[in-house]
Structure 1
């Protein structure tokens, strides 16, 4: 299937992710100005973003269940409202503790309802199973394009109008999510188009089936590492580069390169997942990550190496998403994918919580990011090994259904 023949729902989902994740990935460049405004250490902002990511994940299974039951459109609209409210109220905060509620809780809820789990769950129902990873790769790449498009603009806003006004502009951008959600069909319409939805299976049966599958828990473990990596880098790379004496624009450029190269990387890894064993492709991706991070730590940190690092890590940044979600759909079908992938994504966000928070905690303790950088290398190697024993074949229920 050509990408140009994907249903309109896929393209609406892509547009939603561009806005939602583009805003999210820019939060790292707000660390220093917000910390300076409230005279707090980096751990405070790190913990706020960590809380956001933890709640993002905690809300995800319930939001996924709601989407499976009532369809994605309503969930996305409610999420966009929560997202906008969190950003706007953060801009009005006069006490740093407010950020736990606004930037942490409200934005976390908004993200859970406007990002991958909901969008990919909807896409899974309108795209044939054999093209799932490709479609998921293209959809995942949208978040990266948003990162590339939004971060330079956010940096410009910070420089010209300050972080409060920048967040107010972000809140207005959430209205675009509501507009794009109009193209998301209802759950009943979607259900009739999928070839691997078992409507006779209950949610309780689906959860029991997944929880008794060893591969499902290995997927959880691998995605935990991914969450730790991406949120540590997105949150702390700007501060790390500033500590090395590089210009402020270097961090924005490096993160923008992460975004633009992930556009190609996500689609590439998705295509590879359709052609080859997804588990082995995941192992290759994590091995590449370990090499890229180790090289960045060992080599001198300059504007050039920071840019190259952004491009290299970007190529394997969120390639895990089409592969992981593709594995969940491949193994358990599309009927409860938003729920099952939502649970996996919760584990990812636990990793994100620790990546954002522990990065700041260890910096404040050691005065250096080096220990946490090397920890990410070891974790990448462990994740590469975890995917080797996963049995990615469809569960017997789906095998029987396909045969009949």
Structure 2
């Protein structure tokens, strides 16, 4: 069965499953920063311990993503995604019973990191790409990414309410209810395994050849390095913004409100950048996101934080949050096709997660050593501006061998 032969119900059920899976996986993960003050207060876990667990989560996510993508490319996405949901549940249970840094790190770091490889953006964007035509691919990825942003709107208020009224352990148990919803979503999204890849996207190459081609492609390398900065900036904010607001003497609920606003505006931004990516050069849009993000971070942290400035900052960052997802995945498909898309986006995502590690752990380390986040946000701004400039200059021509074969396909038909 090809994508064109799908019924309307089949197509929408796959896309809805992917959106729900992405939404809840990312919504819970991006809300973990709300648990930091309570966990630090109630256990022997320190700010540095919490940051290290979050950093390890991102490293595990990044390191495992290429292998998870390879398994999905070879054996199908459904079983990979279902396994990820079960591991996510195990990670939350371990976090609930944790009283030491080691146990907490196993749950929040190792288990959740592996689960995200199987359930988050790389897998859901691969499923989405198979389900629609090339002409609609960018806007479809933007739409799924936008719908996926609603998870933060659900997860962060739920977490903050339960933390305030019943404690952080009960809030994590509440997250287990959201994980239960992820299971049928993974089953529906996994129906994309039955879709045949179009001939132009199924050029006969081995996985080793494609990976070697990607690593030797200057544009792919630049995009992957710039993706490092994306991870650093976003995880620094989700991990440390609630603690920063607490330091500034602002109400604890403001952190949850800010994350919810990020999720809400992310719906607008993700769809918009997906739509724009189908009409304008994706590399220019990506570079623009990194640069504007950096300017927003500099403007917010330069002046004393207030509820109003925090809401504005959250709205701006939300608009620029996951808009990178359809653009990066679209560039990978444009350069190398769909056959090994999960593997190649996994490789690029490894760089993103290396940046996430630095954003989470480095931010906590800098704060513990210097008593301030100033050096952390200034570094994030500087490298963000540099990355944005290089991203705009990215080489977007497909590798020569693929370009030659694609040009020959119409004449052979």
TM-score bracket for this pair, using the shorter chain length: over 0.9
> Is 1:358 matched with 2:362?
yes
Matches within 5 A, 1:127-276: 127-185=132-190, 189-192=194-197, 194=198, 196-276=200-280
Contact 1:224–1:348 (CA<8 Å) still a contact in 2?
yes
> Is 1:390 matched with 2:397?
no
Cα deviation digits, residues 259-304 of structure 1 (max 9, x gap): 1111101111111111111111112112211221111022331000
Contact 2:96–2:169 (CA<8 Å) still a contact in 1?
yes
Gaps of 5+ in 2: none
**Partner SS state of residue 189, structure 2:** coil
Report the alpha carbon displacement of residue 172 of structure 1 after superposing the two structures with TM. Answer: 3.1
Report the alpha carbon displacement of residue 186 of structure 1 after superposing the two structures with TM. Answer: 5.1
Matches within 5 A, 1:12-161: 12-161=17-166
Q: Which stretch has the larger CA shift, 183-192 or 329-338?
A: 183-192
> Is 1:284 matched with 2:288?
yes
Match of 2:325 in 1: 321
Match of 1:367 in 2: 371
Mark the CA change 1:154 to 1:78 in structure 2 (over 3 Å): closer, same or farther.
same
The total of aligned residue pairs comes to 401
Counterparts of 1:276 and 1:398, CA distance in 2: 22
Q: Which stretch has the larger CA shift, 233-242 or 208-217?
A: 208-217
Cα deviation digits, residues 334-358 of structure 1 (max 9, x gap): 1000000001111101110110001
* 318, 331, 340: which one aligns with 1:336: 340
Cα deviation digits, residues 154-198 of structure 1 (max 9, x gap): 100111111111112212321211111221345652224x35322
Counterparts of 1:91 and 1:188, CA distance in 2: 35
Contact 2:44–2:101 (CA<8 Å) still a contact in 1?
no
TM-score (norm 2): 0.93
Contact 2:132–2:140 (CA<8 Å) still a contact in 1?
yes
Counterparts of 1:312 and 1:241, CA distance in 2: 17
Match of 1:349 in 2: 353
> Is 1:302 matched with 2:306?
yes
Report the alpha carbon displacement of residue 209 of structure 1 after superposing the two structures with TM. Answer: 1.2
Cα deviation digits, residues 210-245 of structure 1 (max 9, x gap): 111111110111100000011000000000011111
Q: CA RMSD, aligned part only? A: 1.7
Contact 2:332–2:345 (CA<8 Å) still a contact in 1?
yes
Report the alpha carbon displacement of residue 130 of structure 1 after superposing the two structures with TM. Answer: 2.5
Contact 1:70–1:187 (CA<8 Å) still a contact in 2?
no
Report the alpha carbon displacement of residue 142 of structure 1 after superposing the two structures with TM. Answer: 2.7
Counterparts of 1:305 and 1:132, CA distance in 2: 36
**Partner SS state of residue 368, structure 1:** coil
Contact 2:77–2:193 (CA<8 Å) still a contact in 1?
no
Gaps of 5+ in 1: none
